[in-house]
Structure 1
Amino acid sequence: MSSSKKITLVTILVSFFMFSCVSSTELEVGGEDGWVVPNSNKTHGDVFNQWASHNRFKVGDTIRFKYKKDSVLVVSEDEYKQCKATKPQLYSNNQDTVFKLDRPGLFYFISGVSGHCEKGQKMIIKVMETESSPDSPPPSSSSSSSLPASTHKKSSASKTAVKFSSSVFVAFSVLVVSVMVWH
């Protein structure tokens, strides 16, 4: 194989490798305090929406709920407003729930413990649209959010992870490059 063909092949493999990486962030809901009933003295019970408004969420990010003797539910907008879930999309009470934000739009979370939601243990997260074409349909949610967008805060409660879309692809790329170098 000629030198220029090897360089072209390596360039293509490196490009595929770079595009197969997806960057995502995991944030701990509520920061160091976690998913708890807000103190009545704190910001009129809107602690979690204020926390969410200081972060910019994107598709692929995950959020971690840490709590004791509580639960977290993913609910509809109406269930969020009523602090009552009849058909939650997710119910978890394992004290350490990780939820993946898998689409753009609004996600509604409430505590499943009676009275906690009414005391402010609820949250709306807005996941930003990805780069889209002019033909892209609008978000599925009919309501607009007043949550301002900002950037991820760097703290002990967040970490960035790079995930590979396929370890087989990585192994194959290393094998091809190795074969080309030795020939």
Structure 2
Amino acid sequence: MSPLKKVTLVTILVSFYMFSSCVSSTEFEVGGEDGWIVPESNKTHGDIFNQWASHNRFKVDDTIRFKYKKDSVLVVSEDEYKKCKATKPQFYSNNDDTLFKLDRPGLFYFISGVSGHCEKGQKMIIKVMETESTPDSPSPSSPSSSSSPPSLPATHKKSNALKTTVQFSSSCFVVFVIMTISVFGLV
């Protein structure tokens, strides 16, 4: 293989790596090993789901998995979250294993749909970060204290991400194929 082809192959591999890091996403299991459960006591466990969420960093296209038994999960407005009552949830699932895609930056409010569970602490706020920011862009203003999760000491086990997946767009794949064909002189 000629030196020029070797350099081109290295360039392709570096580009492939860069494309993969730009489109990777992570799947998180809500609550870690314990899952989406009714806390035993609000006084002893505090706000366990907001504590769990505060130990993780979420970005657009990440997914969160709720594992539970005889329960449900709802995405609601901030007001419905505060009242633990949802009349028109944005999302509802009760299939014991719910995967929810974080499709935008900002705050997401989750509650249990089973009567009394939210009041016992089965609720959570997730803040999804902007995917990219440039050094020249102004920093976002801090959210009001009423819409951000409280800052609590970590008393619940930290959960690691379950897995990181890499998804390639069709345009990235086409660029990769064209570069590979040009390196090996197949055209």
Shorter-chain TM-score category?
A: 0.7 to 0.9
Picking from 146, 161, 165, the partner of 2:164 is: 161
Q: Give identity over the alignment, percent.
A: 65
What SS does the aligned partner of 2:51 have? helix
- Contact 1:45/1:119 (CA < 8 Å) preserved in 2? no
In structure 2, relative to structure 1, the CA distance for the partners of 1:137 and 1:79 (3 Å cut) is farther
Report the alpha carbon displacement of residue 7 of structure 1 after superposing the two structures with TM: 7.2
Q: In the alignment, what sits opposite 2:19? A: 20
Deviation, structure 1 residue 28: 0.6
Distance 2:175 2:16 in 1: 10
Equivalent residue pairs, number? 176
- Which letter maps to 1:43? T
Return the TM-score normalized by structure 1. 0.76
| Separation (CA, whole Å) in 2 of partners of 1:41 and 1:137 | 35
Aligned residues of 2:125 and 2:148 also touching (Cα < 8 A) = no
> Unaligned regions of 5+ residues in structure 1, if any?
none
| 1:128-167 mapped onto 2 (5 Å cutoff) | 128-133=129-134, 134=136, 138=140, 143-147=147-151, 155=160, 158-166=161-169
| Equivalent position of 1:118 in the other structure | 119
Give the C-alpha shift of residue 161 in structure 1.
2.0
Whether the 8 Å CA contact 1:17–1:170 is kept in 2: the answer is no
Give the letter aligned to residue 100 of structure 1: K
Task: Please give the per-residue CA displacement for 1:69-115, whole angstroms capped at 9, x wherever unaligned.
Answer: 10000000000000000111100001100111122211100000011
Scaled by the length of structure 2, what TM-score is found? 0.75
Please state how far the C-alpha of 1:129 moved relative to its aligned partner.
Answer: 2.8
1:170 paired with 2:173, answer yes
Q: Which amino acid aligns with 1:17?
A: F
Alpha-carbon distance change, 32 to 75 in structure 1, aligned in 2, over 3 angstroms: same
Deviations 1:22-61 (CA, angstroms, capped at 9, x unpaired): 2221111111111111111763541111111111112221
Structure 2 unmatched runs, 5+: 153-157
- For 1:60, the equivalent position in structure 2 comes to 61
The 8 Å contact of residues 42 and 121 in structure 2, kept in 1 or not, is answered as: no
Q: Distance in 1 between matches of 2:124 and 2:72?
A: 13
Deviation of 1:172 (Å)? 6.0
Give 2:17's aligned amino acid.
M
Aligned AA for 1:54?
A: H
Moved more, 39-48 or 118-127: 39-48
Alpha-carbon distance in structure 2 between the residues aligned to 1:83 and 1:7: 61
Paired amino acid for 1:163: V
For residues 50 and 77 of structure 2, what CA distance do their matches in structure 1 show?
A: 16
Aligned AA (1:162): T
